[in-house]
Amino acid sequence: MSQITLLLEQAHGGDEAAWQQVVALLYDDLLRLARCANTSGKANTLNATALVHECYLRIAGSGGENGIGNRSHFLALAGRAMRQILVNHARDRMAAKRGGGAEHTTLDQHDLAADREAEELLGVESVLEQLGKEDERLVRVVDCRIFGGLTEVETAEALRIPLRSVQRLWAQARERLQNLLVA
């Protein structure tokens, strides 16, 4: 049993220090995920560190430490949380762009790039929502592989399904996403 799994078991038993150790041990992994999830990293106003901290607050705030079984499961949850945070951030940005009676100003290149990135992220989220209506398992695999940065083996471990099922679902998800994005 890995050190992280042991610490997660202790955290499940109420040991707050064990939970903090898990986060400290996985902090570099979380930063890597945040950099990958935050596509360009330039236009978006949420930097990787802010995204990691928001992610931590979301997982810890939901009592996540009580249901996480291992490193892969933790990273899968973190990837999903990061996607949700970025989508919420993009929605907020687009809502602010539409004004609501606010004074209109000229945007610079940075603002235009951030708006474009927000629109693209919302487009991806829309396609993932469509995919989820067809088969929620496909979205969970995409969350693990893309937003969680997990390998196929880690995805199988996190979702508690056979490796062959992950491989089949991942192939189906890629094909469906390609078709939905082209349409």
Q: What is the pLDDT of residue 21?
A: 93
Joined together, the tokens standing for residue 79 give 């990837």
117, 39 in Cβ contact below 8 A? Answer: yes
Neighbours of 149 (CB within 10 A): 21
Q: Does residue 172 register a pLDDT over 80?
A: yes
CB hemisphere CA count around 136 (13 angstroms): 1
11, 19 in Cβ contact below 8 A? Answer: yes
DSSP H helices in 38-162: 48-61, 71-97, 109-134, 136-142, 152-159
Range with lowest mean pLDDT among 5-9, 115-119, 138-142, 170-174? 115-119
Distance CA 96, CA 182 (A): 29
Helix axes 109-134, 163-182, angle to 10 degrees: 120
12, 65 in Cβ contact below 8 A? Answer: yes
SS3 175: helix
5, 71 in Cβ contact below 8 A? Answer: yes
Stated pTM of the model:
0.78
In this predicted model, which residue has the larger pLDDT, 104 or 61? 61
Residue-wise pLDDT tens digits, 16-32: 899 899 999 999 999 98
Break the chain into its structural domains and give their ranges: 3-97+108-182
Distance CA 108, CA 102 (A): 17
58-80 mean pLDDT: 82
80, 83, 52: which is closest to 68 by C-alpha?
Answer: 80
